[in-house]
Every structure is written in structure tokens, then in C-alpha cells.
Amino acid sequence: MITTNPFAQLNAQSPDIFTPGVMQTYIVLMILFVIAGTLFDVWHKKSAKYFSMNTEKGKKNAKREVNSAERKDMMVKTVTSEVLTSSEFSNPKRRLSHLLTMYGFIIFVATTAIMIFAYPTIADGTPAILPLLWHLGALMLCGGGYWFWFAIRVDVAAEGKPWYKIAPRADMFILSLLATCTFALLWSFTSGMGIFLILFVASATFLFSTVIWSKFAHMFFKPAAAFEKRVIQADGSNEGLPGDFDLSSKEVHEKFPDIPTYMGDTPADMGPGIRREPARHY
Ligand code: HEM
């Protein structure tokens, strides 16, 4: 079952409705939804304008210039660290859950498109690896996503809210991701049961058509923000925030001679502060 292309099977079950053309048009429509939603988001929230204003402000406050070789290096590091390994998450469980969700989604979407465009009918002879990866991608997303939903997200883990309490705008992305992959799997495992197909298509359409309101577009914006963060830390502008001072350093004591007045001659290491223990006191 997991080595059967569910879209070719769908075409075999209803050849007049689910023609290759209909399925391919649906994919193109979803891509257009994502492009239009992201562009509208950039225009409506003026995020591109804010981003370039912030970059200009950073340049003015920069303590040194970051050259193009350094920028290239930072770009590579952003891709290999923040993008490919979700390194922005310091909570290892959240990082692993994000990796499962992200790679699951990429594998699921890519294999859906390949199967629908290259092997839309049974006669095309889909290589078994494609449906296998499609099921694996959906399972990975469900694993990472349900873990996040029931145990990791801040509402449940820190604020003590029950898992079924929904904030529609904030949760529409994760919930429509989960619904899409859950119904896709149920549809495939029940050999094409109609109700699961309807729910699968409805949730996928919701996921891709609500980019303007959901967190979908973060997958395009976050890499740019992560790169910018590296630049502002390297050029010293740091968004106007104070530096990270080491209270045991002689230079820091010379720069701020009143430290002993408030903290004694040998100030204690205050530790990671907010990260000292998980927030569970609401
Ligand atoms: C296929 C691509 C991706 C998927 C499916 C995905 C999925 C998710 C999900 C489900 C959340 C939790 C949202 C919530 O709070 O409801 C999230 C948050 C987050 N993602 Fe991704 N993500 C993807 C790509 C990326 C990329 C490329 C980056 C960074 C370079 C990234 C960085 C983040 C960060 C920093 C958060 C936490 C902050 C926030 O909630 O805005 N994600 N992602």
C-alpha cells in the first residue's frame, strides 16, 4: 500500500474526474496561491520596507564594515545552520520537532508534485521509492507536528492551557499542516475512501490559500532574518542593544568603573537568566 502512488490510483478509480490535467492544475493553483499570498503579505505588512529601513539603520550604527567575503561566509552559515538544521531553537525537543515537520513537509510536497506531474496514471509505472517517501514525509510531519501541538508549544508547556484550546490565527498553520498530512495518510491507508479525500483536499486548499493570515511565509522570511541577525552582530550595530559583557574581564571593569559599587569586586556569574529553568509557573 505504501508503495502505491495514491494519485495514479485516484486517476484509475475516477478517470473522468481526476484526470492528470485536473490534478496538475490544482498543484499550479496552490503554487500561485503561495506566491500571491507571500507577495501580498510583504506588501500589506510593509515587511520589505521595514527590513530595508532596519538594514539602513544598522549600517548607520555599524562599528565596522562587513566585507563581501564575510557576507558570503555568513550566507553559507545561515543556510547550513539556521535553515538546514533549525539551529535557532535552543530547546532540543523543539528543534527536533521543527526538523521533522520541516523535512516531512518538503518531502511530502516534493513527492506529491513529482508523482502528479511525472507519474499521474497507473500506466506510468511510478518508482516505489516515491510513494514510500510520500508516506514517510507525511508521517514525519505528523510526528513532529503532533509532538509540538500536544507537548512542546508554549501555550501547553508553559502557560498550562489545555491542548484543545485553539487560537485560530496563530494555530491555522500548524493545524492545517497536520490536517493535510493526517487526511492524506488516512485516504491512502483506506485505499481511497471518499470522505478522507475530501478532507485532504479541503485542508490542503486551506493551508495554501491562507498564507496571508497564517505563519506559512515564515519559511521564506526566517532565512533572511537569520542572515541579517548574523550581519548586525558582526558589524556591532546589534539593533541598538547593549553588548554581552563578561563581568570577570578587566576591560569591562575599566569601561564601567562603577561595577564594584553595585556588584562587588568579584561580580558573580548570573548565569543564563531566563534560560536557567523552564517557565512553568503560570
Ligand atoms: C518546509 C518548511 C517549514 C515548515 C513546514 C515549518 C514549520 C514550522 C512550524 C509548524 C512552526 C511552529 C509555528 C507555530 O508556532 O504555530 C515553526 C516555527 C518556526 N520556524 Fe519553521 N518551518 C519551515 C521552515 C523554516 C525555516 C527555513 C526556518 C529558518 C530559517 C524556520 C524557522 C522557524 C522559527 C525560528 C520558528 C519559531 C518562531 C515562530 O513561531 O515564528 N522554519 N515552523
* 156 touches ligand 1 (CB under 6 Å): no
Kindly tell me if the per-residue pLDDT of 271 is higher than 80.
no
User: For residue 282, what pLDDT is reported?
Assistant: 63
| 270 alpha carbon – ligand 1 mean position (Å) | 31
- Per-residue pLDDT of 129-146, as tens digits, reads 999 999 999 999 999 999
* 226 touches ligand 1 (CB under 6 Å): yes
Q: Which residue has the higher pLDDT, 1 or 205?
A: 205
User: For residue 113, what pLDDT is reported?
Assistant: 98
Question: What is the pLDDT confidence band of residue 265, given thresholds at 50, 70 and 90?
Answer: confident
Pick from 113, 115, 88, 109: nearest CA to 177? 109
Tell me the longest C-alpha to C-alpha distance in the chain: 83
Where along the chain do its domains lie? 6-234
The pLDDT of 152-179, averaged and rounded, is: 94
- Per-residue pLDDT of 210-234, as tens digits, reads 999 999 999 999 999 999 999 998 9
User: For residue 59, what pLDDT is reported?
Assistant: 82
SS3 state of residue 98: helix
User: For residue 143, what pLDDT is reported?
Assistant: 98
Select from 88, 95, 102 the residue to mutate for testing ligand 1; criterion: most ligand atoms less than 8 Å from CB: 102
Kindly tell me if the per-residue pLDDT of 27 is higher than 80.
yes
Question: What is the pLDDT confidence band of residue 269, given thresholds at 50, 70 and 90?
Answer: confident
Q: What phi and psi values does residue 254 have, to the nearest 5 degrees? A: -70, -40
- C-alpha–C-alpha distance, residues 73 and 152, integer Å: 33
Kindly tell me if the per-residue pLDDT of 281 is higher than 70.
no
Kindly tell me if the per-residue pLDDT of 9 is higher than 80.
yes
User: For residue 114, what pLDDT is reported?
Assistant: 98
Kindly tell me if the per-residue pLDDT of 158 is higher than 90.
no
Kindly tell me if the per-residue pLDDT of 242 is higher than 80.
no
**Ligand 1 atom showing the smallest separation from residue 83 Cα:** 30
The pLDDT of 101-126, averaged and rounded, is: 97
The pLDDT of 43-64, averaged and rounded, is: 86
Q: What phi and psi values does residue 9 have, to the nearest 5 degrees? A: -65, -40
| 15 alpha carbon – ligand 1 mean position (Å) | 38
| 98 alpha carbon – ligand 1 mean position (Å) | 7
| 173 alpha carbon – ligand 1 mean position (Å) | 10
User: For residue 58, what pLDDT is reported?
Assistant: 83
DSSP state, residue 214: S
Kindly tell me if the per-residue pLDDT of 244 is higher than 80.
no
Q: Using CA positions, which residue lies closest to atom 17 of ligand 1?
A: 98
Kindly tell me if the per-residue pLDDT of 191 is higher than 90.
no
Select from 219, 221, 228 the residue to mutate for testing ligand 1; criterion: most ligand atoms less than 8 Å from CB: 219
Q: Is residue 162 within 8 Å of 32, Cβ to Cβ? A: no
* 174 touches ligand 1 (CB under 6 Å): yes
**What value does the mean pLDDT of the chain take?**
93
Kindly tell me if the per-residue pLDDT of 51 is higher than 90.
no
Residues 6+ apart with CB under 8 A from 178: 141, 142, 145, 146, 149
Q: Using CA positions, which residue lies closest to atom 40 of ligand 1?
A: 215
Q: Which range is least confidently modeled, 12-16, 24-28, 251-255?
A: 251-255
- C-alpha–C-alpha distance, residues 209 and 36, integer Å: 9
